Amino acid sequence: MRADAIMDSIKERIAVEKNDEGLRLDMFVSEKISGISRSRAGALILNGDVTVSGEIKKPAFKVKDGDVVEVLIPPPKSSEGFAQDIPLDVIYEDDDVIVVNKPAGMVVHPAAGHRDGTLVNALLAHCKNLSGIGGKIRAGIVHRLDVGTSGTIVAAKNDAAHNSLSNQFKSRKVKKIYLALVYGSMQGDKGFFDSPIGRSQRDRKKFSSRSRIGRQALTEWRVVERFYKHLTLVEVTLHTGRTHQIRVHFAEGSHPLVGDPVYGGEKKIKRLTKSQLMEAVASFSRPALHAWKLGFYHPKSGEFMEFESEIAKDFASMLCSLRNLCSGGR
């Protein structure tokens, strides 16, 4: 790496905790640093930009409690990513952050098969400046929402804001509340799921609480509305941020999300005994999940700010149909 590039690079220093023990180094780096994919983490490791307690290791090295991982993140390449004039539903914006309501179907950042039309492409056109910690291909991205999930997401406009927000996500200071429509009638009016989540050993595209490398995952839920005994609208608070956490926890609790093709949501449609309810949800072709509220401490002022996004039209329309069918029945 050139001397001037090193000057522009950013160094992240992360202590390995007990619940991280046994993770591959490339996986550890990608999970701990927002905007760094596992493949990019592997490239940084092979390039010698990652050390474990001062030593260079291989991507497959298993980290252990007490290790200190240092990552030198090079400046973004100018050739990565490009701006596209895509409309954004902006909830809030200042010199440090921008909060938007991401539509369902929009990928957060470019990846294989999604070179354009992403949130990053839209942000690059809308904002004069974005943080470069994740590279231009993930410019400004601090956290992610699945492509099928709509709702509130924050992006950083500079590196200082990125580091502040990233640290808040890591230390679980960010308030994250979702709305989800699930199959079945939840037992009780509120509760928790606390089973660990990791990548499935049988299907690498899925996640599971039965993974051998599962990490702590805590999901709090509260019933908002019941549609007979067949469907439940729940408010979900995430206390951790594992991939597919809400979808996995509810599916493994026998209450998969409506429209979820990966974790069993489609199979439950046939079990609805009321044909009108079946018709109301059968055409919903994505997980019924909306990132409703997001709260964090402003990177510059330190003020706690909370934002709420309007529920997506397809989700709202489905709920309206269900309410009309149930005539307020609980």
Catalytic residue numbers read 146
Please classify residue 196 by burial: count the beta carbons closer than 10 Å to its beta carbon, then call 0-12 exposed, 13-18 middle and 19+ buried. middle
| Residue 166 tokens, joined | 């990233």
Rg for the chain, CA atoms, rounded:
21
C-alpha distances out from residue 112 to 17, 37, 148, 153, 214, Å? 32, 12, 17, 22, 26
Region class of 209: left (phi > 0), else alpha (psi between -120 and 50), else beta: alpha
For 106, the token pair is 């929009």
Please list the helix, strand and coil fractions of the chain in percent, rounded to the nearest 5, in that order.
Answer: 25, 25, 45
Dihedrals φ, ψ of 295, to 5°?
Answer: -130, 140
Backbone angles phi, psi at 161, to 5 degrees: -65, -40
Which is nearest to 24 in space by CA: 74, 56, 58? Answer: 58
DSSP 22-75: T-BHHHHHHHHSTT--HHHHHHHHHTT-EEETTEE--TTPBP-TT-EEEEEEPP
How far apart (Å, rounded) are the C-alpha atoms in residues 93 and 95? 7
Distance in angstroms (rounded) separating the CA atoms of residues 169 and 179: 20
User: Residue with structure tokens 């700010």?
Assistant: 305
Q: Identify the CA nearest to 14 among candidates 45, 46, 51.
A: 51
Q: What is the DSSP letter of 272?
A: -
